[in-house]
Chain A
Amino acid sequence: MSASTDALFRPLTLRGLTIRNRLMSTSHAPGYGRDGKPQERYQLYHAEKAKGGIGLTMFGGSSSVSLDSPAAPWNQVSVADDSVIPYFQQFADRVHAHGAALMIQLTHMGRRTRWDTEHWLPTISASPLREPASRSIPREMSQDDIDRVVHDFAEAARRAREGGMDGCEISAAHGHLVDQFWSPSVNRRTDGYGGSLLNRMRFGFEVLAAMRAAAGDDFVIGMRMSGDELFDEGLSGEDCVTIAAEHTRRGLVDFVNVMGGQARDHMAHAVSLPNMAFPVAPFLYLASAIRREVEVPVFHAQRITDFATAARAVAEGHVDMVAMTRAHIADPYIGRKLLEGRADDIRQCVGAGYCIDRIYTGADALCIQNAATGREATMPHVIAKAATARRIVVVGGGPGGLEAARVCAERGHHVVLFERESALGGQINIAAKAGWREALSGIPRWLAAQVRKLGVDIRLGVAADAALVLAERPDIVVVATGGAANPGLMPGADLVTTTQAVLHQGIDLSGSVLLYDAMGQHNAASCAEYLATRGALVELATPDRMAAEEVGTTNQPVHLRNMYKLGVIVTPNLDIVAVRREANRLVAVLRNTMDMVEEERVVDHVVVDFGTLPVDAVFTDLKDGAVNRGQTDAAALIAGQPQPHQGEAGYRLYRIGDAAAGRNIHAAIYDALRLCKDF
């Protein structure tokens, strides 16, 4: 452990609470709530971080204090009545058992929510101005509304305390009700709650004072806030410093948790949750500026993905607690691994934003590279040794194959890994060539380092066939040979290039390019940026309503911004019908998905993305000789049970990842983990 990481392992005491180290996870909304309660899945997810050595884990991002700020529609936590308290107590016990502190975030979303869900109550805010993200126009709050919400906050703080939490914070960030009052972009009131900044802070003062009165003097209460809303009509950096200073001067908060920007629209949202296109710790300076002006500890999160940056942030005095929220989603054992001198074993967050992107489509948060996160009840973060050591051959060194090899080696098996290419990583090596997506290479880099360390016998540059596999006398064969680019089935498919070929072979396509995207994933969008950056004139056509439709809200805006900047033309609602050659150019025939009218493009190149088709020759050749005939028992797999045919003479054969069908990185890694954990 380097000397500088010592700064992370100094306890912090605030209002009588001692946090064992400076590592924390900020409150977020993984979509694990059920019926408005943090139940087993939610609790185990945080307990794992506690087990992994985190100092403070905060849960329940945007937990609701009032009925007109509904929680259930996005599987979050409602603190609007006492029925949540027993769940809090169970939660607190689980986290405290591993020595970590637990806090919750409490909020009223104000206008940043929808009226057409759960309770069908109107949205409310300081003034009736439309919120871009939810498109709701709230009712201006009356004094009765204000008094009611202040009371709701107080009641929620009391419930947090009775639930055994170590503290709570209010969210006055991301455009929630408290900062809707603060921000001149939302608050146009002329009463005592509007006008001057001091007046605009009045609502928050009342909220915090009521919470303190309800929760008692020995309960930690903090505030999450922006350090600069980063848009002209919003709060400036100076405003935010004033707000923080004023709240601490009045003794209303025990800590401030500073973030940069806000989240009122798509681009602002993407900026406030910086993905791999951003440098690390892009808004640390905002937290640092506030720390200079306040007397309470400052917390901060935003793309602090590596422990060296985290240690620097604390050691240099920019912040008191460093939040590595997504970093702990990728690896909940950061603290423990640092303490044990196993820094190299930390699976570092690559900033893909897969976790958060999923929750904005109503799904649950899952890590692109760690399939155990959020599945703690069934999937192990720490792989136990198997009772019997087996001989296992893994064919293919992409993410699925690497994860399979890693899990099998952790189980104590003898593992041989064949990889056709000269480098491990599979299709990630292709994706990582696309401009700002380079950081994806961190996924196979960690996996490869782990399998090397675990002593996996890696055969690079060997295209394994059935004979080579069987020569290893395997007990189990895992085929993870991935997928090959699919050129499509339309007439003229032989004339097109695939996005995979463009990136893999580094083809510089000059002139005009029609890029047809049937998948709506990162692939085509990043390929469009790749080609346009190199001077091609690119039109991206898609049957979807917008480019990169499957890409979530922290990434899609970045793709769109880049494509706008690069002059890529995006044409939605088009199917590709045929491609034909005309002289030395190509004609692409497209058909509008709405009115069925056909149109043509005369271009130099047609590039398509139809995903991949399985590469399964090895699987097919081995299938008949396998005791399970290559069949994966889906019911056992889903139930987390061992596969059938245990202990029979001969080998068992499975296929995972894109070799089974083209999907994504997480699917390949999850395939591998849930299958191999029982080998």
Chain B
Amino acid sequence: MAFGALVLLAWLLLAGVAVQVGRLGLRWRRGAGASVDWLGGLRALPRRYLVDVHAVVARKPASSVMHQAIAGGLLAATGLLLLAAIPALFAAALYWLLIALAFAVALVGAVLVRRRRVPVKPASLSAGAFLTLPAYLGAYAAGGLIATLLPGVPGLLGVALAAFGGIGLVAQITGGPMRHAVAGALHLAAHPRPARFAGGAASDLVPLDLDAARLGVGTIGDFAWNRLLGFDACIQCGRCEEACPAFAAGQPLNPKALIQDFCAANRKGGTAYAGSPHPGIASPGPVLGVLHAETLWSCTTCRACVAACPMMIEHVDAVIDIRRNLTLEHGAAPGKADAVLAALRYAGNTGGLAPAQRLDFAAGLKLRVLAPGEAVDTLLWLGDGAFDRRYGATLRALIGIMRAAKLDFAVLGPAERDCGDLARRLGDEAGFAAQATVNVAMLGTMSFTRIVTADPHALHVLRQEYPAFGGHYTVVHHTALIDELITTNRITLGPATDTVITYHDPCYLGRYNGETAAPRRVLARLTGQAVEMARAREASFCCGGGGGAPVTDIPGKQRIPDLRMEQARETGASLVAVACPGCTAMLEGVIGPRPLVRDIAELVHEALQ
């Protein structure tokens, strides 16, 4: 009798889930259209879940065990119960033993879920409904276990307990934590960047239709429906919050709260968010009816949140979508953004300088400037860092290395324009498109095998974002080039020193483009004492210089580069090796006694023999 009741409960709960998913679906329908390969997505779902998601989840082994127990136990127990419609199974003792086992595993999972917040709730985890979640989970699992093991009235009481828990869980699907379970599965199938699951970087921003009636996201419904779905997949695990440099610096951005703000904006009456707020923000703001603009301008676009998110939610895309609307429709980019974007429009560089000044740093070096119709093996893309005297030293070192290796290379000189990275991250898609169009046309007049650049932002834009504008190039970062030159004995270095050096991964090189090995190989050749910061490689901590953050300059309690330098100090390194003009400027701007900051090109140039 208890068995039958339990099976009935399972079917009733399934019906309840279906109703709830329908209600969620109505919510997601408010979003804009998006083409989704449902068939492919659903087919790939098991792999995406078991491989891609769990690779992220497993970075915290305790969480992984917890999730396997609770999700595995619940799904297995409930799924098996639904199969009881097959009479042979209903009669099999082993079948019920398996169900009991699954409920037992789920019960352990429920205990583990509770232990996440009891006795002490970590700051990055949310409270609210999450505090009652273990009780529902526990009730469903314990009830199910009792009902499968005990006959008679105790068994029926078990069913009642399971019903209490199960109904509680189903009720939490639209407004509470259990939304994660259904939205998460659908999000993995309908993910807006399916290429992420194919091992690709998939970090390029998608061009905006500049003729559209609405530019970017101005209301919650301007997000594509599968983006809205993605936001609802969030379980508020707080990993993005822990990863976010802006949050760490006390700037008004908490990526977890950001996603929940989107969820709230898409639901009448909002959601009862009970996690850490955006630092310093006490009440909802005007953007989408929930956000303050400072929150969006605090983002350095470093993608640490995206890389940390087990649900593969795309925070940065959302930030840029809203920035596009703020900048293009409202002209509301704050701080010095307006001046910088204007300078870019009339001068082709963010400093508003004469194009010929791009080569000032190289006065006397007699660089070959490639002219239309000419050919060269390697084209050295200088980037706007060339206008900065400090960064000129890095470029001169790189040129010295390329000359020592006798490479056939040239620069573009005054013809080079800013790649448009800053404009694009600030939401000025029109400004970016203008730069991209001009650069792609200009590059089309010349012939070269590859582009080398010391600027990871330029690398990212040229490699990943210019293809959408018809520019397809082989783009190599200077650290990869140097690695290649060392490996192929094109340059010879002196013996490794014992200087303690730590390498700071640029976000746009490491996370955006997956290049973390080459710079380390080069560094290992320079010193026997390379040490790692706690946050390294794909988990690197931003210097604070990305996404136009130095331009919008949203105040916080601390500065991001100060935090990063402190992390470098903790390694005992006397030198921080960098590989990006932005990182160089940000980390060298840290005042007080600190390790030296040197680009890998400078270190290699010094070690040349």
Identify the A interface with B (CB < 8 A). Answer: 1, 5-6, 9-11, 18-21, 55, 99-101, 338-341
B365 CB within 8 Å of chain A: yes
A9 near B361 (CB under 8 angstroms)?
A: yes
Q: Which 4 A-B pairs rank lowest in CB-CB distance, beginning with the nearest?
A: A11-B363, A20-B363, A20-B364, A99-B364
**Stretch binding the partner chain, chosen from B103-111, B275-283, B311-319, B388-396:** B388-396
A100 contacts which chain B residues (CB < 8 A)?
364
A55 contacts which chain B residues (CB < 8 A)?
363
Q: Which residue from B357, B361, B364, B392 sits with its C-beta under 8 Å from A18?
A: B364
A9 near B364 (CB under 8 angstroms)?
A: no
Q: How many B residues touch the partner, as a band?
A: 10 to 19
Q: Which residue from A10, A19, A341 sits with its C-beta under 8 Å from B390?
A: A341
Identify the B interface with A (CB < 8 A). Answer: 357, 360-361, 363-365, 389-390, 392-393, 588
Q: Which residue from A5, A19, A101 sits with its C-beta under 8 Å from B389?
A: A5
13 extra A-B contacts, CB within 8 A, seeds A9-B389, A341-B390: A1-B389, A5-B389, A9-B392, A11-B360, A18-B364, A20-B364, A99-B364, A100-B364, A101-B364, A339-B389, A339-B390, A339-B393, A341-B588
A10 near B393 (CB under 8 angstroms)?
A: no
**CA separation between A458 and B588, bound complex, in Å?**
27
B588 near A18 (CB under 8 angstroms)?
A: no
B364 near A1 (CB under 8 angstroms)?
A: no
A340 near B393 (CB under 8 angstroms)?
A: yes
A340 contacts which chain B residues (CB < 8 A)?
390, 393
A338 contacts which chain B residues (CB < 8 A)?
389
B392 near A10 (CB under 8 angstroms)?
A: no
Chain A residue nearest to B584 (CB atoms) is A341
Chain A residue nearest to B497 (CB atoms) is A385
A341 contacts which chain B residues (CB < 8 A)?
390, 588
Known contacts A10-B357, A341-B588; is A18 also within 8 Å of B363 by CB?
yes
A9 near B588 (CB under 8 angstroms)?
A: no
**CA separation between A414 and B588, bound complex, in Å?**
27
**CA separation between A340 and B605, bound complex, in Å?**
14
Q: Which residue from A1, A5, A9, A101 sits with its C-beta under 8 Å from B360?
A: A9
Interface centre among A99, A100, A101 (most CB of B within 10 A): A99
B357 contacts which chain A residues (CB < 8 A)?
10
B393 near A99 (CB under 8 angstroms)?
A: no
- The contact sample of 8 A-B pairs, CB cut-off 8 A, is A9-B361, A10-B357, A18-B364, A19-B363, A101-B364, A338-B389, A339-B390, A341-B390
B393 near A11 (CB under 8 angstroms)?
A: no
Chain B residue nearest to A17 (CB atoms) is B364
A101 contacts which chain B residues (CB < 8 A)?
364
Chain A residue nearest to B393 (CB atoms) is A339
**CA separation between A247 and B365, bound complex, in Å?**
32
Q: Which residue from B360, B364, B588 sits with its C-beta under 8 Å from A10?
A: B360
**CA separation between A661 and B387, bound complex, in Å?**
53
A20 contacts which chain B residues (CB < 8 A)?
363-364
**CA separation between A338 and B363, bound complex, in Å?**
16
**CA separation between A195 and B365, bound complex, in Å?**
49
A18 contacts which chain B residues (CB < 8 A)?
363-364
B389 near A6 (CB under 8 angstroms)?
A: yes
**CA separation between A19 and B438, bound complex, in Å?**
31
Interface centre among B357, B389, B390, B588 (most CB of A within 10 A): B389
A21 near B393 (CB under 8 angstroms)?
A: no
**CA separation between A10 and B392, bound complex, in Å?**
12
Chain B residue nearest to A12 (CB atoms) is B363
A21 contacts which chain B residues (CB < 8 A)?
363
**CA separation between A340 and B596, bound complex, in Å?**
11
**CA separation between A132 and B483, bound complex, in Å?**
67
B393 contacts which chain A residues (CB < 8 A)?
339-340
A1 near B390 (CB under 8 angstroms)?
A: yes
Interface centre among B360, B364, B390 (most CB of A within 10 A): B364
**CA separation between A55 and B365, bound complex, in Å?**
12
CB distance from B404 to the nearest CB of A (A): 14
Chain B residue nearest to A18 (CB atoms) is B363
**CA separation between A438 and B140, bound complex, in Å?**
86
**CA separation between A341 and B588, bound complex, in Å?**
9
Chain A residue nearest to B364 (CB atoms) is A20
Chain A residue nearest to B391 (CB atoms) is A339
**CA separation between A5 and B365, bound complex, in Å?**
21
CB distance from A101 to the nearest CB of B (A): 8
B390 contacts which chain A residues (CB < 8 A)?
1, 339-341
**CA separation between A11 and B365, bound complex, in Å?**
11
Chain B residue nearest to A53 (CB atoms) is B393
A9 contacts which chain B residues (CB < 8 A)?
360-361, 389, 392
Known contacts A9-B360, A341-B588; is A99 also within 8 Å of B392 by CB?
no
**CA separation between A338 and B365, bound complex, in Å?**
19
CB distance from A315 to the nearest CB of B (A): 13
A11 contacts which chain B residues (CB < 8 A)?
360, 363-364
CB distance from B420 to the nearest CB of A (A): 24
B389 contacts which chain A residues (CB < 8 A)?
1, 5-6, 9, 338-339
B363 contacts which chain A residues (CB < 8 A)?
11, 18-21, 55
**CA separation between A341 and B584, bound complex, in Å?**
11
A1 contacts which chain B residues (CB < 8 A)?
389-390
**CA separation between A458 and B392, bound complex, in Å?**
37
Chain B residue nearest to A101 (CB atoms) is B364
CB distance from B365 to the nearest CB of A (A): 7
Chain A residue nearest to B602 (CB atoms) is A340
Known contacts A10-B357, A10-B360, A11-B360; is A339 also within 8 Å of B392 by CB?
yes
**CA separation between A100 and B363, bound complex, in Å?**
10
CB distance from A493 to the nearest CB of B (A): 50
CB distance from B375 to the nearest CB of A (A): 26
**CA separation between A530 and B132, bound complex, in Å?**
85
**CA separation between A6 and B357, bound complex, in Å?**
11
**CA separation between A157 and B392, bound complex, in Å?**
35
**CA separation between A11 and B392, bound complex, in Å?**
13
CB distance from A562 to the nearest CB of B (A): 42
**CA separation between A340 and B391, bound complex, in Å?**
9
**CA separation between A11 and B363, bound complex, in Å?**
6
B361 contacts which chain A residues (CB < 8 A)?
9
**CA separation between A341 and B365, bound complex, in Å?**
21
CB distance from B354 to the nearest CB of A (A): 10
**CA separation between A507 and B102, bound complex, in Å?**
96
Chain A residue nearest to B365 (CB atoms) is A99
CB distance from A220 to the nearest CB of B (A): 15
**CA separation between A35 and B348, bound complex, in Å?**
56
**CA separation between A6 and B389, bound complex, in Å?**
7
CB distance from B379 to the nearest CB of A (A): 22
Chain A residue nearest to B389 (CB atoms) is A9
B588 contacts which chain A residues (CB < 8 A)?
341
Chain B residue nearest to A9 (CB atoms) is B389
**CA separation between A257 and B364, bound complex, in Å?**
22
**CA separation between A55 and B390, bound complex, in Å?**
16
A10 contacts which chain B residues (CB < 8 A)?
357, 360
Interface centre among B360, B363, B392 (most CB of A within 10 A): B363
**CA separation between A338 and B393, bound complex, in Å?**
11
CB distance from B402 to the nearest CB of A (A): 16
**CA separation between A18 and B363, bound complex, in Å?**
7
**CA separation between A339 and B360, bound complex, in Å?**
13
**CA separation between A377 and B361, bound complex, in Å?**
30
**CA separation between A604 and B303, bound complex, in Å?**
82
CB distance from B362 to the nearest CB of A (A): 8
**CA separation between A340 and B602, bound complex, in Å?**
11
CB distance from B349 to the nearest CB of A (A): 14
B392 contacts which chain A residues (CB < 8 A)?
9, 339
CB distance from B261 to the nearest CB of A (A): 38
**CA separation between A55 and B363, bound complex, in Å?**
9
CB distance from B264 to the nearest CB of A (A): 44
B365 contacts which chain A residues (CB < 8 A)?
99
CB distance from B577 to the nearest CB of A (A): 15
CB distance from B386 to the nearest CB of A (A): 12
Chain A residue nearest to B387 (CB atoms) is A6
**CA separation between A101 and B588, bound complex, in Å?**
30
Chain B residue nearest to A21 (CB atoms) is B363
A99 contacts which chain B residues (CB < 8 A)?
364-365
